A and B are shown apart, each in its own frame.
Chain A
Amino acid sequence: MLLSTRGLSKQFAGLRAVEGVDFDLPKGEIHALIGPNGAGKTTLVGMISGRIAPTAGRVLFDGQDITRLPAHRRMRLGMAYTFQITSVFARLSVAENVALAARRRAHGGQVNAVIDEVLERVGLPDRKDQEAGDLAYGHQRLLEIAMGIAQRPRLLILDEPTQGLAEGEIEGFKILIRDLAQEATILLIEHNMHVVMELAGRITVMNFGAVLAEGTPEQIRASREVQAAYLGGTSDAAAG
């Protein structure tokens, strides 16, 4: 297992956002995390990445208990995290955004090579000198992904990366993720069901802070529980 959680829980002032989640993620998998709004997905990956301190439970990464490690140390172990709410350095250039992500591993001339490579991969090759804040929203999402890739992570956590992408860009995104899965394990929070069903090897469904079901795309599609709680329930999920 690359990543495991045991009894992971978070309460916000009485609200149980995440409740006793046991979760296992083997190396090399594309794993989707789905569930209705407010199900606790962002909170769960927040605890995995170290942004949010859990109220109970443990996180294990590559066999090591990292529950007490600060976020930056976890990233150094080989995680990368992209934010649900776009969080780029708006007043810095696109190239500098990626450079900051790359410089933790690459040095000197290597950095420029990484910048060119990842911007090419996400489809923003001619935006290098633009200020990140001037990019269209969808392109800022792609820049976030580029920053994730530039870190050469073993585990890449993507929180709703396709939000704001155009139809054509979503196609590009699917190809990119399949390609990335050769190098990294991917944990993907996603509302777009077409993307989930096409990409994910396994899917975990959350509802009310707990894991409702886990399985292959076929099993999840067939599960009545999931149908009731989620797939038929919310319009944005069905629409995709």
Chain B
Amino acid sequence: MRVYGLHAGLIALLLALHFVLPAYHHGNLARVMVLASYAMGYNLLFGYTGLLSLGHALFFAAGMYGMGLGVQHLGLSPAPALLAGLGAGAVVSAGLAALALRTGGVAFMIVTLMFAQAGYLTVLYFGAYTRGDEGFVIQQAQRMLWGIDLSDPGNRYLAALILFGCCLMLSLWLVRAPFGRVLVAIRENEERVRMLGYDVFAHKFAAMVISGTMAGAAGAAYGLLFGYAGATFASVQYSIFPLLWVLLGGAGTVLGPFIGTLFMFYLIDLSSGITTAYMLIAGVALVLLTLFAPQGLMGEVRRRLWRGLP
């Protein structure tokens, strides 16, 4: 109960902030919530199952382009376009899971990295449709969901909050369910799990598809809410980001991805206001954090304050 209270409390807090935050931070937080949904998807695979993917941008971009191309070229309205994005994330992650899960450890990292890179090149190759690096804008008229204008900052924030809330509660429920417990056990000792009679491959496969679908949903929402799809989101950078966010916030904690994304977002935002060498400041902060809180912020909270924190 306390656990659900804490997580529902965060959603309530974010809802309250909607009414009080100044426009600038209000906009930032909407972005952070969508990116944190991406990070939560990543965390299910990396933090809970122990599989380090370097190719999640592929799923994020699959969602973004599944939605964006549907709107742009098939004239889909937002609801079916979002579903198309979700489906694209699911199909692409299932395909990659079927291939990459035959490997493990470093090979898994390399295979996911390679396929994500191939995905990036595919986006560039089909520049006639995707407009490559330049990307394309999704017009305001194309962003009307059931009469609600998603380009309006207020609506956008609430839509981001709904996505975030769903991903958060789904993650929380999943990692506390028997299925999620098996994922954690796989992370801890895969051979033992197999000898307890669990199908390790099937569990990893399901984890990767759920993770990729969540990333796809976030990608689709990002494109729709901020009105743009571009190849940058398929680049290796966007595979590294969720890893950093999750490490910072605490891998294998439900709140970690949000905390990490928020922290990093404002770290870069604030330091870029002070100096042009903002990446340096961000880098130093990261090093300090890994030195003093190697399990991430929420990992540290779990270690010191609340051992049962999911």
Contacts and interface: CB of A to CB of B under 8 A. Distances in A.
Interface of A: 49, 51, 71-72, 75-76, 81, 83, 87-92, 96, 99-101, 103-104, 107, 147, 151
Contacts of B198: 72, 104
B85 to A, nearest CB: 34
B196 A147 contact: yes
B134 interface: no
Top 5 A-B residue pairs of the complex, sorted by shortest distance between their CB atoms: A75-B197, A89-B188, A87-B192, A76-B197, A81-B195
Nearest to B193: A100
A72 B181 contact: no
B197 A88 contact: no
Given A87-B192, A88-B192, A89-B192, A72 B185 contact: no
Interface string B183-196: 01100110111111
Contacts of B185: 89, 92, 100
B196 A101 contact: yes
6 contacts: A72-B195, A87-B195, A92-B184, A100-B193, A147-B196, A151-B197
Given A99-B181, A103-B178, A71 B195 contact: yes
A87 B196 contact: no
Contacts of A87: 189, 191-192, 195
Given A72-B197, A72-B199, A76-B197, A103 B181 contact: yes
A129 B184 CA distance: 17
Given A96-B181, A99-B181, A103-B178, A72 B188 contact: no
Contacts of B195: 49, 51, 71-72, 75, 81, 83, 87
A91 B188 contact: yes
Given A87-B189, A103-B178, A75 B184 contact: no
A89 B199 contact: no
A104 B196 contact: yes
A204 B188 CA distance: 35
A72 B192 contact: no
A239 to B, nearest CB: 31
Which one of A89, A90, A107, A151 has the highest number of Cβ atoms from chain B below 10 Å of its Cβ?
Answer: A89
Contacts of A100: 181-182, 185, 193, 196
A90 B200 contact: no
Given A96-B181, A99-B181, A103-B178, A151 B196 contact: yes
A75 B196 CA distance: 7
Query: Main SS of the interface on chain B?
Result: helix
Contacts of B184: 92
A72 B191 contact: no
Interface in B167-212: 178, 181-182, 184-185, 188-189, 191-200
Contacts of B194: 71-72
Nearest to B198: A72
A75 B199 CA distance: 10
Contacts of A72: 194-200
The residue in B178, B192, B193 that gathers the most chain A C-beta atoms within 10 A of its C-beta is B192
Given A99-B181, A100-B182, A103-B181, A90 B188 contact: yes
A142 to B, nearest CB: 16
Residue of A49, A81, A83, A100 contacting most chain B CB atoms (<10 Å): A100
A10 B109 CA distance: 33
Contacts of A49: 195
A70 to B, nearest CB: 8
A87 B199 CA distance: 18
Contacts of A103: 178, 181
A130 to B, nearest CB: 12
A161 to B, nearest CB: 15
Interface in B234-289: none
Contacts of B192: 83, 87-89
Nearest to A103: B178
A185 B185 CA distance: 27
Interface in B107-161: none
Nearest to A82: B195
Nearest to B197: A75
A72 B196 CA distance: 7
Given A72-B196, A89-B185, 12 more contacts: A49-B195, A71-B195, A72-B197, A75-B195, A75-B197, A83-B192, A87-B189, A92-B188, A96-B181, A100-B193, A103-B178, A104-B197
A57 B185 CA distance: 33
A181 to B, nearest CB: 22
A51 B188 CA distance: 18
Contacts of B193: 100
Contacts of A92: 184-185, 188
B243 to A, nearest CB: 21
A104 B200 CA distance: 13
Nearest to A79: B197
Nearest to B188: A89
Contacts of A76: 197
